[in-house]
Amino acid sequence: MTATPHLIWLLAGVAAILILASIVGEILRQRLSPAGDNPVIENLNARIAAWWVMVILLAIAFLAGKPGVVILIALASFAGLREFLTLTTHNRADHWSLLACFFLVLPFHYYLILIDWYGMYAVFVPVYVFLLLPVLSALRGSTQNFLVRVSETQWALMICVYCVSHVPALLYLQIPGFEGRNVILFAYLIFVVQLSDVMQYIWGRLIGRTRIAPALSPSKTWEGLVGGALTAVFVGSSLWWMTPFTPAEAALMCLILTAMGFFGGLVMSAIKRDRGVKDWGHLIPVHGGFLDRLDSVIFAAPIFFHVTRYYWSLT
């Protein structure tokens, strides 16, 4: 993947959006929070600054080519896996299995993505690792909470490694007539899912009345979900010309992305509430941890990848 015109235009468009957001944030700060005492405005500007950092890292990875993107997402997976496993149940008997997760399973799985060995990376974690990793803990002879320990570790790998890895895997799809533009699919996935999240929050604040799951996420409402989903579908389907999809196909794909993104956020919120934490981590200022930024994408990415591969790809 080289610096194609499509990639340059994509990066320029994202930069323009962030510049506009930065200008608006600065105007709001000067008018409403000159002394830095308005928490909403300060939070907004902190989020914009955090997005600048994340977008710059992605841009560097894109310009470095497919290996750069795979390595960057692998590092994000590593951070997410650490956040997830920090909240799980384990004891000294799991020492070797945890080391294997970080230093064998994760790098080998992303190596399979890098060499585009679909037949292996599609089954490596859900089949081979699923069956063999618990053996390391079983050999240590500790039966206390064994099922809980093993299940939580396998969930962590599926969420933080297997599901997340489908984001860079989009770059390797061979779609007739779409050669050299796979980065658009990468951006399309992130854009639609994140837009849906933001618009669900905004619509929920404006007209939200009926909460979906108050114990999990008090801010999620049915009105916000419908409004956010419809907005994301409308905007995403209007960008069909950037994708290999027709307008109707783009609308359907956006509907799938918004639904899976919502389910992902709900499930990940349930896990956090079960563990009694608000955020997965504090690595990204204001945003929390990597999993707090990836929760919607985690569920959407595998479905988006496999639907696109099945109906549009040659491989």
pLDDT of residue 204: 84
* Nearest alpha-carbon partner for 219 in 228, 208, 229, 227: 208
pLDDT for 60-95, tens place per residue? 877 878 899 999 999 999 999 999 999 999 999 999
Q: Is the pLDDT of residue 214 over 80?
A: yes
Q: How confident is the model at residue 97 (pLDDT cuts 50, 70, 90)?
A: very high
Checking if the pLDDT of 2 tops 60, the result is: no
Looking at residue 40, what is its pLDDT? 62
pLDDT over 70 percentage in the chain: 94
Domain residue ranges in the chain: 1-64, 66-172, 179-315
* pTM score: 0.88
* Alpha-carbon span 185 to 178, nearest angstrom: 10
Dihedral-angle region of residue 89 (phi above 0 means left; psi in -120 to 50 means alpha; beta otherwise): beta
Which comes out higher in pLDDT, residue 242 or 167? 167
pLDDT tier for residue 203 given thresholds of 50, 70 and 90: confident
Answer for the pair 238, 245: CB distance below 8 angstroms, yes or no.
no
Which of 11-15, 24-28, 98-102 comes out lowest in average pLDDT? 11-15
